[in-house]
Amino acid sequence: MDIKEALSQPKTWVTVASVALLLLLGLGPLMAGLAGGPDHAETEYPDLLESLDGDDETAFIEVVNQELFVFGLWNVTMALMFLAMVYLTDGGTQAKLAMVAAASMIFVSGAGGYSVNGDAYFVEWVTLCAILGSPILITGYLQLNREVGE
């Protein structure tokens, strides 16, 4: 298999995007949520954190860390599911599942990023997922058209 053929396969791009999703949006927030420190709450919500005191501040930090953990766990699960979808199928089914994976990566990571940080990094996270998802959508569509044409 030459490089042109490898880059025209949705399996290649799903693998690249899944690894990036796993490392950037999966393990990072997962580990930050597990660490349980006040760092994320202090940097993202400084005004709100200053207005809280004692037990309220501790509870707020726990909620923020829990949101980070859930967001990271969700992205790890998505990345593993995407890898399973493309490595356990082939042909037209693989192309369709790759396009579903790309669309859900853009939507779910964007919605999850908004739930964790609000407007803070929403555009950046959706842009990252769109950059990762675009080659998957394109190669999935092209492979689907090749399957129909044959």
Can you state the percent helix, strand and coil of the chain, rounding each to 5?
A: 85, 0, 15
Cα–Cα distance measured from residue 28 to residue 38, given in angstroms and rounded to the nearest whole number: 15
Q: Whole domain around residue 83: which residue ranges?
A: 11-30+69-149
Residue 88 covered by a domain: yes
Residue 114 covered by a domain: yes
Residue 23 covered by a domain: yes
Residue 117 covered by a domain: yes
Residue 49 covered by a domain: no
Q: How many domains does the chain have?
A: 1
What sign results for the dihedral spanned by CA atoms 49, 109, 16, 127? negative
How confident is the model at residue 150, as a pLDDT? 61
Amino acid at 17: A
Residue 1 covered by a domain: no
pTM above 0.75, yes or no: yes
- Digit-by-digit pLDDT tens for the chain (150 residues) are 688 888 889 999 999 999 998 998 889 889 988 888 888 788 878 888 888 888 888 888 898 889 889 989 988 998 999 999 999 998 889 999 999 999 988 887 777 777 776 776 778 878 888 898 999 999 999 998 886 666
Residue 101 covered by a domain: yes
CB within 8 A of 78, min separation 6: which ones? 21, 26, 104, 105, 108, 109
Residue 60 covered by a domain: no
